[in-house]
Amino acid sequence: MAEPDPILRMIGISKEFPGVKALTGVDFRLLPGEVHALMGENGAGKSTLIKVLTGVYDVDAGRIELAGAPIAFTGPLEAQRAGISTVYQELNLCANLSVAENIFIGREPRRFGRIRWGETRRRAAELLARLDLDLDVSAPLSSYSPAVQQMVAIARAVDISASVLILDEPTSSLDAGEVAQLFRVMRRLKEEGIAILFVSHFLDQVYEIADRMTILRNGRLVGEHLTAELSQVELVGKMIGNELADLERLDEKPKDLARTGDVIIEARELGRAGAVQPFTLSIHQGEVVGLAGLLGSGRTEIARLLFGADHAGAGEVVIDGTPVSLRTPRAATARGIAFCPENRRTEGLIADLTVRENIVLALAAARGWARPIPRRRQDELVEKYIGALRINPPNPEQLVRNLSGGNQQKVLLARWLIVEPRLLILDEPTRGIDVGAKAEIQRLVVSLSDGGMAVLFISAELEEVLRLSHRVGVLRDRHLVAQLPNDDDLTVDVLMETIASGARP
């Protein structure tokens, strides 16, 4: 079968940021009626390529053609008008407006300049019905879950009569049912002849939906392949180069189960109304305790209570046998507890500071303003952790905002490792980052616990929790329902059953 002409063609695209070569001579093409996956590690240049395409960034070199005609958009609005719509990784909707308005804002049906609200709501409801969604279109968007908000964003993009639809990590906040629903919608759009550019870190999803994929590494094109002709192992190899062995080396459970180090921290009937039911949990020195449960089951809430970010309504925390009051994160930090929050952009990193400044932040805070860290000592420390965590680019003076998601996560980790905590709480440290960086962070957790650090590891990926933890706490509906030793009997299936039923079968 002859290939149709590409609807979109990008030729020799280069883009440089201060200190970072984000894209170097990348070619890309998109055929009508296909789902095309853009693959690569964090920092490979996927987001930059999309932003160049939609006019958020200018290109330094290269050209873009849409349906054969050269284009150079000055912004997303122009790209949208030309038929290129994007749903970004971070939701770009206005939570204060209604569902219907989020779909139609800027394009509301009007008569003599007056917005016709009835018509707007009717059309929004029709459109959502086409996507099998039954929502109250006049309710504010903020009253719906992120997953539903994502669907609304896609509905908006779809309705802008797009010939090219870009979905940047659309599935990262959706559950399995919602992913299936999204894929149904994508297939329907594909049949309508729309070209879909799809970015996802979930390989299974890519293999389920994509017809073709383009792989980037370090801002360069690695290749374009039909999905059917490239195995997953080959794909991962192309994405991360020759580091494939790393992934496999980790594919074993932690061996020495009998961690009998001293109890570092113990929560006794600790709870907070509306957040998490009272729970009792102790963590030993050198032990990795995993927390498994669905989104919203209270995982993050436990972490925040142990770090003093929220006030406990009930119970007490005992550290080294003495009851302590963790009323603030500062008090927790002083007792050797460190917390890498889930939302690294808003709760962790300061995007306008450099890598060095972000890394020394916690240490500087712990020492106080009267005892600044000498610059030479800072440089040594930062150098050490950039090397140990393989932060890329390895430039301490780079602004954190210019780093990719995985590297930002590493910077955040480095900040807490530098203060040498006794208990490290990691909340979803591997979400939204690629396999390579994921493996590195997992390896790091193992080596930290070997070195005697206690780790509370929270992740939505059960395989990951199983691979790293000595013990797994299972949460269900804000209840810590079980604490299971990670022995040979504990499998993903058992965990899932526990999450579903609330007790070990």
Partner 1 sequence: MISLGVLSPNRPIPRKYLPVLVTGGLFLAMFVAGGIRYEGFASGQVVLNVFIDNAFLLVVAVGMTFVILTGGIDLSVGAVVALATMISASLVTDGGWPPTLVIPLVLAVGAVLGLAMGCVIHYFDIQPFIVTLAGMFLARGLCYTIGTDSISITDSTYTGLAQARIDLPGGAFVSPSVLVAVVVILAGAYVLHYTRLGRNVYATGGNEQSALLMGLPVARTKIAVYTISGFCSALGGVLLSFYMLSGYGLHAVGMELDAIAAVVIGGTLLTGGYGYLLGTVLGVLVLGLIQTIISFEGTLSSWWTKIFIGLLLFAFILLQRLGAARRT
* Closest CB to partner 1 among residues 108, 379: 108
* Closest CB to partner 1 among residues 217, 476: 476
Q: d(Cα 139, Cα 143) in Å, to the nearest integer?
A: 7
Helix axes 405-417, 355-367, angle to 10 degrees: 30
CB 471 within 8 A of CB 485: yes
* Closest CB to partner 1 among residues 136, 234: 136
The structure tokens listed for 73 are 């958009």
CB 8 within 8 A of CB 164: yes
Question: Binding to partner 1 by residue 294, rule CB under 8 A?
Answer: no
Of the candidate spans 64-72, 138-146, 210-218, 428-436, the one that interacts with partner 1 by CB under 8 A turns out to be 138-146
* Closest CB to partner 1 among residues 101, 427: 101
Helix axes 405-417, 375-389, angle to 10 degrees: 130
Q: Which helix (H) or strand (E) holds 238?
A: helix 232-240
Q: d(Cα 250, Cα 246) in Å, to the nearest integer?
A: 7
What's the residue count for the chain? Answer: 505
Question: Binding to partner 1 by residue 46, rule CB under 8 A?
Answer: no
* Closest CB to partner 1 among residues 348, 396: 348
What is the full DSSP assignment across 485-501? E--TT--HHHHHHHHHH
Of the candidate spans 17-25, 141-149, 207-215, 463-471, the one that interacts with partner 1 by CB under 8 A turns out to be 141-149
Question: Binding to partner 1 by residue 150, rule CB under 8 A?
Answer: no
Three-class DSSP labels, 42-93: CCCCHHHHHHHHCCCCCCCEEEEEECCEEECCCCHHHHHHCCEEEECCCCCC
* Closest CB to partner 1 among residues 156, 284: 156
What is the full DSSP assignment across 473-484? EEEETTEEEEEE
Determine which residue in the list 15, 36, 123, 156 makes contact with partner 1, applying CB under 8 A. 156
Question: Binding to partner 1 by residue 164, rule CB under 8 A?
Answer: no
Determine which residue in the list 86, 398, 459, 469 makes contact with partner 1, applying CB under 8 A. 86
Q: d(Cα 180, Cα 79) in Å, to the nearest integer?
A: 28
Please state, in angstroms and as integers, the Cα–Cα distance from residue 271 to each residue in 268, 295, 317, following that order.
9, 18, 10
Question: Binding to partner 1 by residue 88, rule CB under 8 A?
Answer: yes
Shortest reach from residue 177's CB to partner 1, in Å: 8
Question: What is the rounded end-to-end Cα distance, in angstroms, of the chain?
Answer: 53
Determine which residue in the list 75, 109, 261, 323 makes contact with partner 1, applying CB under 8 A. 75
Question: Binding to partner 1 by residue 232, rule CB under 8 A?
Answer: no
* Closest CB to partner 1 among residues 140, 313: 140
Determine which residue in the list 18, 68, 113, 505 makes contact with partner 1, applying CB under 8 A. 113
Question: Binding to partner 1 by residue 72, rule CB under 8 A?
Answer: no
Q: Burial, 172: exposed, middle or buried (Cβ in 10 Å; 0-12, 13-18, 19+)?
A: middle
Shortest reach from residue 121's CB to partner 1, in Å: 14
Question: Binding to partner 1 by residue 92, rule CB under 8 A?
Answer: yes
- Beta strands of 309-406 (E only): which ranges? 314-319, 322-324, 337-340
Shortest reach from residue 46's CB to partner 1, in Å: 17
Q: d(Cα 487, Cα 251) in Å, to the nearest integer?
A: 15
Question: Binding to partner 1 by residue 431, rule CB under 8 A?
Answer: no
Shortest reach from residue 132's CB to partner 1, in Å: 5
Shortest reach from residue 497's CB to partner 1, in Å: 23
Determine which residue in the list 57, 144, 183, 207 makes contact with partner 1, applying CB under 8 A. 144
Determine which residue in the list 19, 27, 61, 129 makes contact with partner 1, applying CB under 8 A. 129
Of the candidate spans 88-96, 309-317, 458-466, 473-481, the one that interacts with partner 1 by CB under 8 A turns out to be 88-96
Question: Binding to partner 1 by residue 313, rule CB under 8 A?
Answer: no
Closest CA to 254 of 208, 207, 286: 286
Question: Binding to partner 1 by residue 68, rule CB under 8 A?
Answer: no
Question: Binding to partner 1 by residue 233, rule CB under 8 A?
Answer: no
Count residues binding partner 1 (CB under 8 A): 39
- Beta strands of 169-247 (E only): which ranges? 195-199, 212-217, 220-226
Question: Binding to partner 1 by residue 148, rule CB under 8 A?
Answer: yes
Q: d(Cα 158, Cα 187) in Å, to the nearest integer?
A: 12
Per-residue interface string for the shown chain with partner 1, residues 175-214, x marking contact by CB under 8 A: --x---x---------------------------------
Q: d(Cα 504, Cα 484) in Å, to the nearest integer?
A: 8
Of the candidate spans 17-25, 127-135, 360-368, 474-482, the one that interacts with partner 1 by CB under 8 A turns out to be 127-135
Determine which residue in the list 108, 175, 379, 461 makes contact with partner 1, applying CB under 8 A. 108
Closest CA to 140 of 108, 89, 94, 104: 94
DSSP-derived letter for residue 26 is E
Positions in the binding site for partner 1 (CB under 8 A): 75-77, 80-81, 86, 88, 91-97, 101, 105-106, 108, 110, 113-115, 117, 129, 132-136, 139-140, 142-145, 148, 156, 177, 181
